[in-house]
Chain A
Amino acid sequence: MRRSFTDYALPVFVFLAMIGIWEAVVRINAIPPYVLPAPSLIGATLVNDWETLSGSLLVTLRITFEALFAATIGGVALAILFARSRWIERSFFPLAVVLQVTPIVAIAPLLLVYLEANTAVLVCAFLVAFFPILSNMALGLASADHNLIDLFELYKASRWKQLILLRLPSALPYFLGGLRIAGGLALIGAIVAEIAAGSAGQGAGLAFRIVEAGFRLNIPRMFAALALISASGVLIYLTFTLLSWALLSRWHDSSRERGV
Chain B
Amino acid sequence: MTLHKGRGFAAINYPIGMNLGGDPSQALVHSNPDGKFTVALSAIDLGQGMKSVTRQIAAETLGVPIADVYVDTADSDTGPHDMGSFASRGTHRMGNAVIRASEEARQVMLEAAAEELEVDAGDLVTDGQGNIHVRGAPSRTITTMAASQAAQFKQGRTIAGRGIFLVPLSDVDPETGEMSPVTTFAHAAMLVTVEVDDETGEVAVTDMQSAYEVGRALNPKLVEQQLRGGAWMGMSHAAWETTEPHYPARDHRPEDFNTYLMPGPGDIAPHHISILERPAEDGPYGGKGPGEMCANPVLPAVVNAVYDAVGVRIDELPVTPEKVLRGLQANGGAKPRQAL
Q: Do A and B bind each other?
A: no
